[in-house]
Amino acid sequence: MTTQGLLYIALLFALVLGAAFPLGRYIAAIFEGRVTWLRPVERGFYRLAGVDEARSMQWQGYAIALLLLSVIHFGLLYAMLRLQYYLPWNPLHIAGMSPRLAFNTAASFATNTNWQAYVPEGQISNGAQVFGLVVHMFISAAAGIAAAAAVMRAFTAGSLKTIGNFYVDLTRVTLYLLLPVSLVAATLLVIAGVPQTFAQAVDVHTLNAGAQTLAIGPAALQEAIKELGTNGGGFFNANSGHPFENPNAWTNLFETWLLLVIGFALPITFGHMVKDKAQGRALMAAMAIILALGCVGSYAAEAAGNPQHIAAGITANGNWEGKEMRFGIPASTTFNVAATGTSTGAVDSFTDSYTPLGGAIPMFLMQLGEVTPGGVGSGFYTIIVFALLAVFVAGLMVGRTPEYLGKKVQAKEIKLAMLGVLILTLFILSGSAFSLVTASGVSSLENAGPHGLSEMLYAWSSATENNGSAFAGLTADTPLLDYGLGAAMLFGRFAFMIPILAIAGSLAAKPKLPASAGTFPTTGPLFIFLLIGVIIILGGLQFMPADTLGPIAEHFLLYTGKTF
């Protein structure tokens, strides 16, 4: 590692955390209805949709509204992908997707996963990209943030019967946060060289007097919401490693900032909502510590290089395989760790080519439950689950009924929290195991041994945790993985989100108790490190046997001269 590389990581964190405080305050104002600069447009949407913005919902109604919207948008996107050959803005006459690939892609973008089992340049039209995928990037991200708003309201007062109006939250988040920031970000990316055009290809002359056809399109806006909404669906197959998505080192830093900033801002929003800013800072600190350790750890592993190359006397100043020379090792590893820590499927280098430990860290961050800082909205309500588990553990230690922000945490909340944590683990491990004992699953692997296990485990972790990044060594467009991973995306999104909303409804109805001398403080270093411990133990250690057989075993075998 170099001082320059560590300073790059420090600069990124300074820029993100510095922006998180004012942005978090602004998001709180959106949730509380104090942002009104597009009020006529907002009211117009309500009239058009027949929404009564004054009607607040109980958690069941909130959850049903969220599910219905997701089902409708899933169906619309599926139809668009199947019929894209007949739809406008398809100058290359790209055929419709197969039923299984359309199912996988629709599930992916409806759940904010944005896993891509297709090649964008040849399998999806510009019209389907813009009016199908990009629309879902906004809607799925806004739905996650809306769910986070509902969870926040559960702690704002006592004896609440409702947790907000889903349609109002969705509209305000899209109108006042995601859309304006994305338009500004897209403009900056266009200035930097990212294309924004409805032309689908351009013919160019190469330096050796040859001719080449390059795919182009309206990439800048998709790139902006891809990162800001922690989506990750690349306009091009190389994703953020493509020069038309990520032209230079400055755009690489900017895009990494985009994918982190809302995730870190939401805990600050929480502090403003509950009128206790220290509570939000404590959650943000736990997120930042885990992510910083991941960034430094992956950078250290890649900077150390391949031990077999070192033994052969080859000095390359680190492991450069699969990385862009434009960015270098620290910027590449930081981007990928930030993406897997935020439920963003974007990559600017290919994890399949990382050293075993360098690739294990992004996978482990997904397995922790995507809380560092996680996807927009989903990362916040996931860390709330772990915060409830942390105060429950603390309560057991001192023999008191656990409380969090004046709300008693009892059996119902803990059962729902553990259901959310354990059920996703079961899906990841059982899906990976089933895929590795079937001919269809094994045939998808590009590598054998522990590296092949890592490829499959990474895919199921990415799908179930709604991340969307890939190990890049897996043939994913097969019946087993198209349908299996598609189901994992839907399950991972809603089988976790619904119990979270149920927890919010339960806590909202409880009275808000004043703090007493025996109340466990949830703002200091003791709580922060207890929370980190609970995240690692309950979120991560369930995967240690599988990870030991995968990347950790490969790490030690690499030193014996074996490769896979």
The Cα–Cα gap between 145 and 484 comes to 27
Q: Is the pLDDT of residue 494 over 90?
A: yes
Cβ distance 27 to 270 under 8 Å? no
Question: What does the pLDDT read at residue 490?
Answer: 94
Instruction: List the one residue out of 432, 498, 496 whose CA is nearest residue 462.
Output: 432
Question: What does the pLDDT read at residue 294?
Answer: 94
Q: Which sequence spans correspond to the domains of the chain?
A: 27-275
Question: What does the pLDDT read at residue 372?
Answer: 87
Q: Is the pLDDT of residue 314 over 80?
A: no
The Cα–Cα gap between 554 and 353 comes to 13
Question: What does the pLDDT read at residue 333?
Answer: 94
Q: Is 313 left (phi over 0), alpha (psi -120 to 50) or beta?
A: left
Q: What ranges in 510-542 are assigned the alpha helix state H?
A: 525-534
Q: Is the pLDDT of residue 396 over 80?
A: yes
Question: What does the pLDDT read at residue 448?
Answer: 87
Q: What ranges in 193-236 are assigned the alpha helix state H?
A: 219-228
Both ends of the chain: CA-CA distance in Å? 26
How buried is residue 153: exposed, middle or buried, by Cβ count under 10 Å (0-12/13-18/19+)?
Answer: buried
Question: What does the pLDDT read at residue 564?
Answer: 75
| Buried/exposed 37-50: b ≥16 CB within 10 Å, e otherwise | ebeeebeebbeeee
Q: Is the pLDDT of residue 474 over 90?
A: no
Lowest-confidence region among 245-249, 409-413, 469-473, 519-523: 469-473
Question: What does the pLDDT read at residue 210?
Answer: 84
* Structure confidence by residue, pLDDT tens digits, 405-461: 999 998 899 999 988 888 889 889 999 999 999 998 999 998 888 999 999 999 999
The Cα–Cα gap between 516 and 464 comes to 40
Question: What does the pLDDT read at residue 270?
Answer: 97
Cβ distance 252 to 258 under 8 Å? no
Instruction: List the one residue out of 278, 295, 276, 401 whose CA is nearest residue 339.
Output: 295
Q: Which residues fall within 8 angstroms of residue 15, CB to CB, at 6 or more apart?
A: 253, 257
Segment holding 201, helix H or strand E: strand 201-205
Best-predicted range by mean pLDDT (118-132, 223-237, 248-262, 538-552): 248-262
Whether the predicted model's global pTM rises above the 0.85 cut: yes
CA angle 81, 83, 88 (to 5 degrees): 95
Residue located via tokens 């995240």: 535
* Structure confidence by residue, pLDDT tens digits, 65-75: 999 999 999 99
Position 515 confidence tier, pLDDT thresholds 50, 70, 90: confident
Residues facing residue 204 across a β-bridge: 212
Question: What does the pLDDT read at residue 311?
Answer: 80
Lowest-confidence region among 187-196, 256-265, 388-397: 388-397
State the virtual CA torsion across 364, 369, 374, 379 in degrees, nearest 10.
-170
401 by DSSP, 3-state: which? Answer: coil
Q: Is the pLDDT of residue 25 over 80?
A: yes
Q: Average per-residue pLDDT in the chain?
A: 91
Q: What ranges in 275-318 are assigned the alpha helix state H?
A: 277-304, 307-311
Q: What's at 544, amino acid-wise?
A: M
Residue located via tokens 């709180």: 28
Q: Is the pLDDT of residue 305 over 90?
A: no
Q: Is the pLDDT of residue 517 over 80?
A: no
Count the neighbouring beta carbons within 10 Å of the beta carbon of residue 209: 6
Question: What does the pLDDT read at residue 560?
Answer: 86
Q: Is the pLDDT of residue 518 over 80?
A: no
The Cα–Cα gap between 115 and 131 comes to 18
The Cα–Cα gap between 132 and 94 comes to 15
Question: What does the pLDDT read at residue 401?
Answer: 76
Question: What does the pLDDT read at residue 563?
Answer: 81
